[in-house]
Amino acid sequence: MLPNSTEPQMRICLNPLSRPDQDRGLLAPAVFCLFLLLAAATVNAQQITGTPGSPSATTTINGRQIPNPPAPFGGVINLNALDSKPYWQPQVVPPKGAPNILLILTDDVGFGAPSTFGGIIPTPALDRIASMGLRYTQFHTTSLCSPTRAALITGRNHHSVGFGVVTEFSTGYPGYDSVIPLDSVTIVGIPQGAAPSILNRSFTITADIEVPAAGGEGMLVTAGGRFGGWAFYLLEGKPVFVYNLLDLARPRIESAEALSPGKHTVKLDFTYDGPGFGKGGTAVIAVDGTEVANQKLPYTVPFQLEASETFDVGSDTGTGVDDADYKPPFAFTGKLNKLTLSLGQPQLTSEDEKGLRELQLNYTMSQ
């Protein structure tokens, strides 16, 4: 890529799958990633905004090293909290004039596979761009499978999860030991801090599914677990929503009829009775646009679900929200074509938000 170019560009990375027992011919499986740059090249100069150490401070990075090395702690830590000085690391933000980047990471696909370049896999979006006169030809081949697989399952740069090299040639150096660190998780479960939160707001879950001839059962989507969480699933073919109130109660809403084999759209609408923390609300289950069940929930979880649990789609990778109904992983036996979680705005007053920030700060200081 030309560093001073202002034209839209794409970088294509080919990573042929390399295993000792597989052929490395031109048609070997590959992994490619497409970087679509829609504006000017990234500005390299570092830009710092705000007061260093304050929660609102932001910074940019020069991009020469990815992932960027952690910045040193700029505060003071003493035995007494009153004699200590906190220091928030500045949030990394794009520099002024930075391009938009679209990253597409796929597995076992070669450069010649998309229909845009004569392949048999339909890629209509790329075809439309090509028909407008723009083809992306800049690509880089690394010939490594493990690093790309690590990036796929963690959503992170492969060096930051220990896979800077193919795992058969791992070394004892940081970023190259083929050991995914404990602060990184795979796509089998999204940690609560990175997952969408339904707390203190209205929300809608929509699942487009296909029920097999023998009937469907299993998890559609869930967050949390035995000591606090929620789940939307099919039990003996019937749509069920359970809200685990910190293991104190488990209000549930369930359809009276099982779904017939075939395609269905199953929806859960929850209307929150805010403003305020932990208010109740009304849950409505609809199948193919027809309401099949509704129930008033007296309370909801006010602050946080169980931190050690995850957000899962299609199965439950942690503990169950309701052990009486299912045992994890409770994988969905049908086909889950699409799942959408739409969130409303949090229904909190300004005083609620202030109290929440103070609670979070006190919790942080206590750790």
- pLDDT score of 277 more than 50: yes
- Domains contained in the chain, CATH given: 190-351 (2.60.120.200)
Length of the chain: 367
Long-range contacts of 24-31 (CB under 8 A, 24+ apart): 27/110, 28/110, 29/108, 29/109, 29/110, 30/108, 30/109, 30/110, 30/111, 31/105, 31/106, 31/107, 31/108, 31/109, 31/145, 31/148, 31/149
Q: Are 232 and 222 in contact (CB under 8 A)?
A: yes
DSSP label at 272?
E
Strand order in the sheet with 9-16: 101-106, 30-37, 9-16, 138-141
* CB-facing half-sphere around the CA of 88: CA atoms within 13 A: 15
Q: Is the pLDDT score of 6 beyond 50? A: no
In this prediction, what percent of the chain has a pLDDT beyond 70? Answer: 78
Report which of 62, 67, 59, 65 is spatially closest to residue 45, judged by C-alpha positions.
62
C-alpha 299/C-alpha 21 separation (Å) is: 57
- Could you tell me which residue, 31 or 342, shows the higher pLDDT? 342
Q: Which residue would you say has higher pLDDT here, 193 or 203? A: 203
Write down the pLDDT at residue 360: 64
Checking if the pLDDT of 271 tops 90, the result is yes
pLDDT one-digit tens code per residue, 144-154: 777 877 877 77
146 or 13, greater pLDDT: 146
**Least confident residue range of 33-47, 283-297, 322-336:** 33-47
Band the pLDDT of 275: cuts 50, 70, 90: very high
Instruction: State whether residue 29 is helix, strand or coil.
Output: coil
Query: Which of 82-96, 150-164, 216-230 is predicted least confidently?
Result: 150-164
Name the residue with higher pLDDT: 42 or 340: 340
The set of residues, in sequence order, having a beta carbon less than 8 Å from that of 278 and lying 6+ positions away, is 200, 299, 300, 301, 302, 303
Please report the pLDDT score of residue 310 as a whole number: 85
User: Does 133 or 157 have the greater pLDDT score?
Assistant: 133
Q: What number of H helices and E strands is found in the chain? A: 3, 18
pLDDT tens digits, one per residue of 297-346: 999 999 888 777 889 999 998 899 999 999 999 999 999 999 999 999 99
20-29, 273-282, 300-309: least confidently modelled range: 20-29
Q: Are 162 and 146 in contact (CB under 8 A)?
A: no
Structure tokens at 50: 């705000």
- Starting at the edge strand found earlier in the chain, the sheet holding 281-287 runs 290-297, 281-287, 262-272, 203-211, 335-343
57 with 49: CB under 8 angstroms?
Answer: yes
Rounded (10°) CA dihedral 222, 225, 226, 232: 0
Query: Is residue 266 pLDDT above 60, yes or no?
Result: yes
Enumerate residues 6+ apart whose C-beta is below 8 A from 217. Answer: 233, 234, 235, 236, 237, 332, 333
Is 365 or 233 the better-scoring residue by pLDDT? 233
CA distance 245 to 298: 10
Percentage of residues in the chain having pLDDT higher than 90? 42
pLDDT top residue among 21 and 331: 331
User: Which residues 6+ apart lie within 8 Å of 175 measured at CB?
Assistant: 159, 160, 162, 164
Amino acid symbol at 94: P
Residues 6+ apart with CB under 8 A from 225: 244, 306, 308, 309, 316, 318, 319, 320, 321
Q: What is the pLDDT of residue 180?
A: 85
237, 211 in Cβ contact below 8 A?
Answer: yes
Whether the bond between 29 and the residue before it is cis, its omega within 30 degrees of 0, is: no
